Amino acid sequence: MKEFLHKIVKIFLILLLITAAITVAVVGVIYFNNQKKLKEEAPLIVTPPGQMVEVDGHKMHVYVMGKEEAEHTIVFIHGSNMTDDSISMRPLFDELSDDYRLVYVDRPGNGYSEGGCEDKSIDNITNETREAVAKAGVEGPYILFAQTTGGIEATYWAATYPDEVETIIGLDMYSPKEYESDEGEDAGFRYMLYLFARIGIIRHIDSAYPADQYHLYKDKEVLVRNALISKTSYSKDTYEEDKAIGENARATDQESVYGTLPMLLIFSNPIKEPYLSTDASAQADLKQMQESYPDYDFETLYNQKRMDYFGKYDNVECIEMAGPSALYTYNPIDLADKMKEYVEKID
């Protein structure tokens, strides 16, 4: 019996070593293939569309465009891991550039900006953006356009420097309240995402790369977006930001902002027509949800909880639009029109 068990253990260890060797070999192939691809793609992203300014020892990418003498300046604050937005927002910029001064900033480790910023407190994140905008020669006050988790930075900015902020326009914007309970328990999962991105596994995940199904981008723009995603998706800086998101949310006084500052919050709904009919993945998601909960009105209730939460503030206007969270990749014209209507209304 002992001899039999010894053989079983020996076979198990051999299989374990073989599995480990195969895993190392596969990871090695993926990593070196990714490094080769990054070198091939480097010429596509060597020249950023905007300017590089030095902030706290690292260079940040600031893209300034639009009407220089415009009455209003819009500063775009991207959410977590939105590395290609300086390119992907181009259709929206085109719709707004005749009327406004537009400023887009890549946070450290995202897009064209260098990584290496160690202080991920909301105070430092906000002041880095403010300094980058100032060094690009753009003065306030500003309209802050905040996407998803960028809402925490926009809220902190408005609370701490109220004279610099005219209003906030949010796109699927989160409030700090939604992250106050985040204590960083899933840091291990976040670090795994960081490792996967650095190894190059992201190249084998089709959903990580955008499909230009509405033909809004030039062929080169698609290549540039993909190259930026491959290089900077879930960077070390993004990982550190995500780890600090709970602490940053707790340090942000949203009540002093949401109760007084005019705001427009736009919520995307991917299971709402006419977008639903154009996107197969959205149709599949809705079908799966309806099979599990046949009596649930998903389209109506998709954003209801968050719209009710923000809607309790008299100065906050909430609207819903059919489309993906990155609405500017689907319907930039209507998105720009909603923004213009709102800005004209608060003048």
Read off the pLDDT of residues 123-160 as tens digits, 9 standing for 90 and up.
Answer: 999 999 999 999 999 998 999 999 999 999 999 999 99
CA distance 122 to 130: 12
CA distance 88 to 63: 13
pLDDT category of residue 301 using cuts at 50, 70 and 90: confident
pLDDT confidence of residue 182:
83
What residue type is 116 in one-letter code? Answer: G
Read off the pLDDT of residues 201-253 as tens digits, 9 standing for 90 and up.
Answer: 999 888 889 889 899 999 999 999 999 999 999 999 999 999 999 999 999 99
Percent of the chain with pLDDT strictly greater than 90:
73
What average pLDDT does the segment 94-123 reach?
Answer: 95
What average pLDDT does the segment 163-182 reach?
Answer: 94
DSSP string, 49-74: SSEEEEETTEEEEEEEEE-TT-S-EE
CATH topology of domain 47-346: Rossmann fold (3.40.50)
Domain ranges of the chain: 2-44, 47-346
pLDDT category of residue 49 using cuts at 50, 70 and 90: very high
Token couple for 182: 């985040």
pLDDT confidence of residue 318:
96
pLDDT confidence of residue 281:
83
What average pLDDT does the segment 61-83 reach?
Answer: 95
